């Protein structure tokens, strides 16, 4: 296990469109495990490869804060269906202490390759759908603060 350095807003790697992953091997799986450990250490629910300096299309989400059994490693993910719209408050490991309201699709379908090179389809809603959309934006060089409303510093709007 190794903890990786989180890149923060202003680092050019967060503005790049990431390249597709070409090779799914032990080295990539080790990197994904390091990403996951870094995310847990920072109490995040999602992380994208560019946030730790690798400009490749890989994200991990795990919105279950209690037992950490909801881990999804997504390689070359693509959202193929979106439905509805909902606004909620978000934060980001790359934007410490900032929170803001972001409109996202309520339900999505995402297709991706697993860490063991299997094609997967996941239908998601609620926080999981929000988190996936947030992480996939990172792969296209987008930060939530670029699209958020009512940005606040220090605490979530809902905790005001």
Q: Which sequence positions are flagged as catalytic?
A: 135
Measured from the CB atom, is 49 or 92 closer to Co ion? 92
Of 152, 146, 108, which is closest to residue 130 (Cα–Cα)? 108
The whole-angstrom distance between residue 138's C-alpha and the CA centroid of its chain comes to 7
Measured from the CB atom, is 24 or 54 closer to Co ion? 54
What's the closest the beta carbon of residue 76 comes to Co ion, in angstroms? Answer: 18
Given CA atoms 92, 95, 98, 104 in this order, what sign does their dihedral have? negative
What's the closest the beta carbon of residue 60 comes to Co ion, in angstroms? Answer: 12
Measured from the CB atom, is 92 or 132 closer to Co ion? 92
Interaction pattern, residues 46-85, with Co ion; x per rule: CB under 5 A? ----------------------------------------
Contact, 42 vs 29, CB < 8 A?
A: no
Cα separation, 144 vs 68, in Å, equals: 24
Q: Cβ-closest residue to Co ion?
A: 92
- Classify burial at 101, counting beta carbons within 10 Å of its beta carbon; exposed 0-12, middle 13-18, buried 19 or more: middle
Judged by CB under 5 A, the residue of 60, 92, 110, 131 near Co ion is 92
Cα separation, 71 vs 55, in Å, equals: 21
What's the closest the beta carbon of residue 23 comes to Co ion, in angstroms? Answer: 25
Classify 116 in phi/psi space as left (phi over 0), alpha (psi -120 to 50) or beta: alpha
Measured from the CB atom, is 74 or 92 closer to Co ion? 92
Mark the segment that binds Co ion (CB under 5 A) among 3-11, 80-88, 90-98, 149-157: 90-98
105 belongs to the binding site for Co ion (CB under 5 A) = no
Contact residues for Co ion, defined by CB under 5 A: 92
């Amino acid at each position: 296990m190794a903890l990786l350095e989180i890149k923060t807003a202003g680092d050019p790697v967060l503005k790049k469109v990431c390249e597709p992953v070409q090779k799914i091997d032990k080295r990539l799986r080790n990197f994904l495990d390091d990403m996951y450990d870094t995310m847990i250490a920072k109490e995040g629910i999602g992380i994208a490869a560019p946030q730790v300096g690798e400009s490749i299309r890989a994200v991990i989400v795990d919105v279950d804060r209690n037992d950490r059994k909801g881990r999804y490693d997504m390689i070359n993910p693509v959202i193929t269906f979106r439905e509805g719209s909902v606004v909620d408050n978000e934060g980001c490991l790359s934007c410490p202490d900032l929170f803001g309201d972001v409109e996202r699709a309520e339900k999505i379908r995402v297709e991706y390759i697993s860490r063991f090179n299997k094609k997967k389809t996941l239908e998601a809603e609620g926080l999981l759908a929000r988190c996936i959309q947030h992480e996939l934006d990172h792969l296209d060089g987008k930060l939530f603060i670029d699209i958020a409303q009512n940005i606040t510093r220090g605490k979530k709007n809902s905790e005001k």
